Amino acid sequence: MNSFARIARGVAVGTVMVGSIAAGALPATAVQALPATPAADREVTFTVDGTITYGTLHVPAHRRGQKMPAVLLLPGSGPTDRNGDQPPAFTPHTLAKLADALARDGIVSLRFDKYGTGRTGLGAYAERPETIDYPAFVRQADAAYRLLAGQREVNRRAVRLIGHSEGALTALRVAVTAEPRTAGVGLLQPLARRFLDVLAQQLHDQLAAAVAAGQMSRSEQLTIGRAVDRAVADLRAHRPVDTSAMPPALADLFRALGGPSRRYVETIDAVDPASVAYQLSPGTPALLTCGTIDPQVPCRTTTSLAVALERAHTSGPGRIVLSGVAHDLTDPAHPDVLAQPTLDALRQFMRCGTR
Helices 262-269 and 195-212: angle between axes, nearest 10 degrees:
100
Q: Give yes or no: residues 158 and 279 share one domain.
A: yes
Count other Cβ atoms within 10 Å, centred on residue 210: 19
pLDDT band per the 50, 70, 90 thresholds, residue 8: very low
Residues 332 and 214 in one domain: no
Residue 90 has φ and ψ, to the nearest 5°, of -120, 105
Give the pLDDT confidence score for residue 3 in this predicted structure. Answer: 47
Is 1 within a domain?
A: no
Check residue 15 and give its pLDDT.
31
Residue 27 lies in a domain: no
Structural domain contains residue 324 = yes
pLDDT of residue 125: 96
| 133: CB partners within 8 A, 6+ apart | 263, 264, 267
Q: What is the pLDDT of residue 23?
A: 30
pLDDT bracket for residue 9 (50, 70, 90): very low
303 and 159 within one domain: yes
pLDDT value at position 36? 84
Q: How many whole angstroms separate alpha carbon 309 and alpha carbon 132?
A: 29
5 occurs within a structural domain: no
Check residue 316 and give its pLDDT: 82
Structural domain count, the chain: 2
Domain boundary (267, 300, 318) is at: 267
Contact 186, 161 (CB under 8 A): yes
Strands 108-112 and 185-188 turn out to be unpaired
CA atoms lying within 13 Å on the CB side of residue 122: 11
Residues 63 and 166 grouped into a single domain = yes
Whole-structure pTM over 0.85, yes or no?
yes
CA 285 to CA 305: how far, in whole Å? 15
Residues 132 and 143 in one domain: yes
| Torsions phi, psi for 316 (to 5 deg) | 100, 180
- From 209, 232, 267, the end of a domain falls on 267
Instruction: Please calculate the CA angle 149-151-152 and round it to the nearest 5 degrees.
Output: 125
pLDDT reading at 285 higher than 60: yes
Q: What's the mean per-residue pLDDT of the chain?
A: 91
pLDDT tens, residue by residue, 24-40: 333 333 334 455 899 99
Q: Is residue 280 part of a domain?
A: yes
- 184 and 78 in one domain? yes
Domain for residue 338, yes or no? yes
Of 247, 267, 287, the residue at which a domain comes to its end is: 267
pLDDT in tens, 46-65: 999 999 999 999 999 999 99
Is a pLDDT exceeding 90 seen at residue 250?
yes
Is residue 23 in a domain?
no
Angle at 334 between CA 329 and CA 337, to 5 degrees: 55
Question: Rounded CA gap, 199 and 211, in Å?
Answer: 19
Assess if residue 341 is contained within a domain: yes
Do residues 144 and 90 share a domain? yes
* pLDDT, tens only, 63-115: 999 999 999 999 999 999 999 999 999 999 999 999 999 999 999 999 999 99
Rounded (10°) CA dihedral 286, 292, 297, 298: 110
**103 with 161, same domain?**
yes
DSSP, residue by residue, 29-83:
HHHHHSPEE--EEEEEEEEETTEEEEEEEEE-SEETT--EEEEEEE--SSS--TT
Distances, alpha carbon 294 to alpha carbons 229, 291, 327, 343, in Å? 23, 5, 5, 17
139-192 per-position pLDDT tens digit: 999 999 999 999 999 999 999 999 999 999 999 999 999 999 999 999 999 999
Going by C-alpha positions, the residue among 170, 188, 185, 190 that lies closest to residue 71 is 185
CATH of the domain at 347: 3.40.50.1820
- Compute how many other C-beta atoms are within 10 angstroms of the C-beta atom of residue 159: 25
**What is the Cα–Cα distance from 190 to 327, expressed in whole angstroms?**
9
Among 72, 70, 75, CA closest to 59: 70
pLDDT at 18 over 70: no
117 and 237 inside one domain: no
Give yes or no: residues 216 and 332 share one domain.
no
Helices and strands counted in the chain (H then E): 12, 10
53 touches 74 (CB < 8 A) = no
Tell me: do 315 and 170 sit in the same domain.
yes
- Bridge partners of 160? 71
Range of the domain at 85: 36-194+272-351
- 189 and 207 co-located in one domain: no
Surface-to-core class of residue 289, CB atoms within 10 Å of its CB (0-12 exposed, 13-18 middle, 19+ buried): buried
CB atoms within 10 A of CB 181: 12
Give the model's pLDDT for residue 354. 76
Tell me: pLDDT of 14 over 70: no
